[in-house]
Every structure is written in structure tokens, then in C-alpha cells.
A and B are shown apart, each in its own frame.
Chain A
């Protein structure tokens, strides 16, 4: 009765058993292999057979954060790209949009995520946070206040924090690039 929907196809193809490959996996393959990583960024995989979990390091070549290397973990689940990747900073840094636990305030990682966006969009967004930290979306209130009221003091505090020194009673991780 339901034969009316028999699918026309050549026999050769019908014999081949199509393995299950999740749409999320293919999409991650596409996103990763078309990434155009600038020279200021590097990716690494704790387990190369698992493309859904990786680390990204950013070494800004200008701005307040020049000279540091900032590391993030990316965690993609099987509901990608319906759900955005989960991104978290590994180090404790002084940044208006990143809190001391590594949570990142970037709209496309949460409320503005859409399936048409991809890993490249996220990476560009992250890079932008280091070039143009934004005092309007504070996740680290002191740093945001500092940036808003006194850019010179903010710049000084960023430099201090990046060397692992204390800023207003908080010790930060040394993130300076090793030459």
C-alpha cells in the first residue's frame, strides 16, 4: 500500500549500506576545514579523534592585550548548529567581558546564536573582544568600570594582570607569551 512512495534509485546505490553520520559531525568538519585562522590564533586538540572538543589560543597583535596568549576551550555537542558551541576561558584574566571563571559575554554565544553562524563567526567575535573590550556588557564589573572611567588606568591594570600580578586584591594568571 505504501509502495507509492518507493524511491527511484539505481540498484548499485541501494546495495551500499549508508553509514550513519550525524549532521552535527559533518557540519563541524565543514566549519573546521574552512576556518581561516589568522596568524594570531592557534588551535589544538587534546584528542585528535574528537573534533568536537578543542582549544583555541589568541595572541593579540595590537590593543590592550598585546603580548598575552589567551586560551579557550570549545565544546560542541551533537545538537550543533542548533545550539552554539560552549566557549570558556582557561585563565583568570582581567577583562570587562570575561569573568574570573572564564565565562565569556559574547552575544553570538548565547542569545544571538543562529544555525547560519559558524565557528569562524565565533572566533572572529572572540578576537574582537581582545581588540575592543566593551564596557557596556560587563561580566567583570571592576574591569568594565575601570575601562569606562579611566582608560589609562585600565591599560595599566591589564598589563599588571597579564604579568600575573595583583590588581585590586585579585591575582591573575601570567599570560605573557614566552619568546
Chain B
């Protein structure tokens, strides 16, 4: 960006200087062979100055992502993280110092980047992604996920894909993940490319051991730890659920595992291994985080500037046997419950009973339904074919008018053995 375009604050800031952005201006000041048609020369003409980018997670990947975005010309960065800083994070989460231990990651990371990189605004939120609603998420043009949990990713993916469908405009998601020396980066353009849910089947499963092994023939320290928290904890504490974030609980598991390991003459139980097994933490390697975060941020930069084609759509990085990367186009699942084209608008006579409605569904030649079960999107049962107990309790609904159970515009989730997944009917009562 040209110096005369900087804000007053930036001109007076000793951390700003002429030519500070020369590295990105080389790419942005003239059209190159790979630029998109919509590309216009100059930093100001890209999305970078106004683009609101949301970073989910301020941990190992998140620290890298925040730093990279700030150093690539993004100005308006938001970050969400629910965790507080633990001593064990300091070896790789370089935005944090020993004095920050116990403070919220999002807040400390935002402060650090703001103080270090002139002209960048980082807005933190210390809390859960589920605390925020669609109005919050729709202000962003790009979402980057640096998460370590499948559940959080599924929620984020579903939220952004649904929102994109509603807005009629896709909010790209860039998802990074690492496991030891391995990692992946992918670009999800909602409804255009495959989404996170589409690829659920190909995820690595967390390592679990057969329960009979941990009960009878432990050989590894991990077996003893699993014995302590899977079998012993519920026996001793009955109804109290193990809280994996409570150090007292982890300490209890650690001591129980240690005692068990002593009986079986197994070495290697430590507090941190206990924490790792219970929380299913795969050791994070700083450099893998750096590689994956860099790949994610380059994609964000290309998407925001259209200066080069973005990743289409999945990059795997394998560093545990030499170095291997592989890029491929992960295919969209037509029956994906999140992005699949399984939503249909139907006009329904408002005088129909549920039974008449079901008969009509079965006769619809394009649907091919045999025994449809119906629930509303907010989880109210209309009629279920099985199991028998639910069939019996929903049977009285068959005689009721559909309009007494749903409102105009409501969505009905239909499942049927003839459907690969489900069908969502958006019902207009006429």
C-alpha cells in the first residue's frame, strides 16, 4: 500500500515506515498471469483494507495465523477462543509470555498483535463459538479455523454453510489442522466445494484401545490411564462426570493410573501424558503449525486479493516419512447433511392431516419414499415409523392437521430407508 494512503496513526507510529509493505505490493501493484479477471491493481483496490476476517482458535495454529494475517496486510482481524493460557502452551504459542499464564488466549493474542503490528485492529472474544449468532458471523468475509476439535469444526462448518445459503453469498472457510508431523489445509466455499461434514468419514480416528485390554492386559502407560478414567472414575465417582479441564480430576486419574502401572510394572506415566490421553491431545509440533498456518493465510490472502487462484480444495502435508504434500479436489457429497442439495420447497394444503400429507409424499414420484418419518427442524416429532414406542406415541398425530403442528415456512426433516440421508421440506401452507 502506498505510504500516502496510511492513516494518521500509522504515519506517526515508529513501527511504520515507507516501503513497509513492499513485499505484498510486488504482487498487488501489477496484474500477473494468474490474476482473476476481477483483479484490480493496488492494495486499496483489493479487499485487504476492509476485509473482516475471523480466526477461530488462538492456540498453536491461531497464534501463527494471527501473526501471518497481520503481516500480510489484513487490518480488521477478529479472534475467538475459550481457553486460558497454560504453562505448557508457551513452548509454541509464541504470542504468550510466562506472565500471561491464566489469562484468556484470545485477549492476550489480540493485544500482542495489535502492539506489535502497527495499523492492525484485532478484536478478541473470550468464549465459545456457540455464544455467537448468525448476525455476528455474517459480518465476516473470510473465516479461518485453527481448531483441534472435530465437534467445534462441525459446528462452525454447519453454521457458516447455512449462513452462506441464507445470504446467497458464500463466506469462504479456510480450515487448518495438524497432528504431530502431519497436517492439512483446505478451502471450503460453501455450496460450491465439499464441506467439512462431507469429509467426516475420512478423518483419522483418535486412538482407542479395546476395553478388555485396558481392563485385563495393560501393556502401555496409555492403557493404565484409560483404565483410570474410563473404568475407575465412574466406579468411584458414580454420577460426577470427569471434567478434563479440572486439574484435580486429572491429578486423580494420574495417581490411579500410576498405582495401576506399578502393579503391572509399566513405566512412563506422567501428569502431562495423563492430560494428553484424557483430552486426546496429539503432541503439537511448532513447525507443522507454522507450515499449515502459512498455507491457510496464503489462501486467505489470495481470496481477498484475487491475485492468484486459491487452493482447490484440499492440501495434505505429511512430514513423518520424509516430506510429502498432495493436493486434491475433495468431492462434495450429494447427500451431505450440511451442504447437500436436499432442501425442497413444497406447497401443502393447510387442511391436510399428517396422514394425508404422508400419503401425498409417498405418491410424489420424484421423492420415492416408502416409510417416511417426519420431525420438525427444531426437533419436534410429527410422525416416526420406528422404533415401536415412538411410532405409538406419534400415531395420534396422523389424524391431526399438519397446520396444527407446524407453521407456514417451517422445515420438516424427512428420513426414509430409501433416502441416503434426509430430505428437508420447506413447507408453505396454502
Inter-chain CA distance A9–B341, complex, in Å, is 11
Contacts of B208 in A (CB 8 A): 110-111
Q: Is A36 within 8 A of B389, CB to CB?
A: no
Indicate whether A34 sits within 8 Å of B386 (C-beta atoms), given known contacts A111-B210, A138-B212: yes
Q: Is A137 on the interface with B (CB-CB < 8 A)?
A: yes
Residues of A within 8 A of B410 (CB): 19
Which stretch of A44-52, A63-71, A158-166 is in the interface? A44-52
A1-26 residues with Cβ-Cβ distance < 8 A to B are 1-7, 9, 12-14, 16-23, 25-26
The answer to whether B162 and A1 have CB atoms under 8 Å apart is: no
State whether the Cβ of B287 lies closer than 8 Å to any Cβ in chain A: no
CB of B387 within 8 A of CB of A43, answer yes
Cβ contact of B169, chosen from A3, A34, A139, cutoff 8 A: A3
Question: How far apart are the CA atoms of A16 and B344 in the complex, in Å?
Answer: 11
Q: Given contacts A20-B162, A101-B235, are A2 and B172 in contact (CB under 8 A)?
A: yes
With A17-B166, A23-B338 known as contacts, the answer to whether A5 contacts B158 (CB < 8 A) is no
| Given A23-B338, A97-B212, A110-B210: A29 and B413 interface contact (C-beta under 8 Å) | yes
CB <8 Å contact, A103 and B211 = yes
Cα separation A141 to B212 with both chains bound (whole Å):
10
**How far does the alpha carbon of A28 sit from the alpha carbon of B235 in the complex, in Å?**
29
106-126 of chain B: CB within 8 A of chain A = none
How many Å lie between the Cα of A2 and that of B164 in the bound state? Answer: 12
Q: Mark A33-59, 1 if CB is under 8 A from B, else 0.
A: 111110000111100110100000000
Report yes or no: B158 in contact with A18, Cβ–Cβ below 8 A.
Answer: no
A171 at the interface (CB under 8 A from B): no
Nearest CB of A to B148, in Å: 14
- Chain A CB count within 10 A is highest, among B158, B306, B415, for B415
CB atoms of B413 and A18 under 8 A apart:
no
- Total number of B residues with any Cβ neighbor in A under 8 Å: 74
Shortest distance between the CB of A94 and any CB in chain B (Å): 16
Q: Is A93 an interface residue (CB 8 A)?
A: no
Judge whether A30 and B205 touch: CB under 8 Å: no
Partner of B151, one of A30, A48, A78: A78
Indicate whether B266 reaches chain A with its CB closer than 8 angstroms: no
* B393 CB–A CB distance under 8 Å: yes
A104-133 contacts to B (CB < 8 Å) = 104-105, 107, 109-111, 113-116
The interface residues of chain A lying within 8 Å CB-to-CB of B158 are 20, 22-23
Contact A26 B197 (CB under 8 A): no
Please determine whether B377 and A21 come into contact, CB atoms closer than 8 angstroms. yes
B327 within 8 Å of A by Cβ? no
A170: chain B residues at CB < 8 Å are: none
Are the C-beta atoms of A19 and B212 separated by less than 8 Å?
no
Closest-CB distance, A58 to chain B (whole angstroms): 13
Instruction: Evaluate whether A18 and B379 lie within 8 angstroms (CB atoms) in the complex, with A33-B373, A33-B415, A82-B150 already known.
Output: no
Which residues of the other chain, A, contact B200 by a CB distance below 8 angstroms?
81-82, 115
A14 in contact with B377 given A26-B415, A35-B386, A110-B210 (CB within 8 Å): no
Q: Which chain B positions have C-beta within 8 A of A6?
A: 168-170
Rank and list the top 6 A-B pairs by shortest CB-CB distance, nearest first.
A33-B373, A5-B170, A19-B377, A23-B337, A30-B415, A137-B212
Given contact pairs A9-B168, A23-B338, a sample of 18 additional A-B residue pairs in the complex whose CB atoms are under 8 Å apart: A2-B169, A7-B169, A7-B170, A7-B190, A13-B426, A26-B422, A48-B381, A81-B200, A99-B231, A101-B231, A105-B211, A105-B215, A114-B201, A115-B200, A116-B201, A138-B215, A139-B216, A141-B216
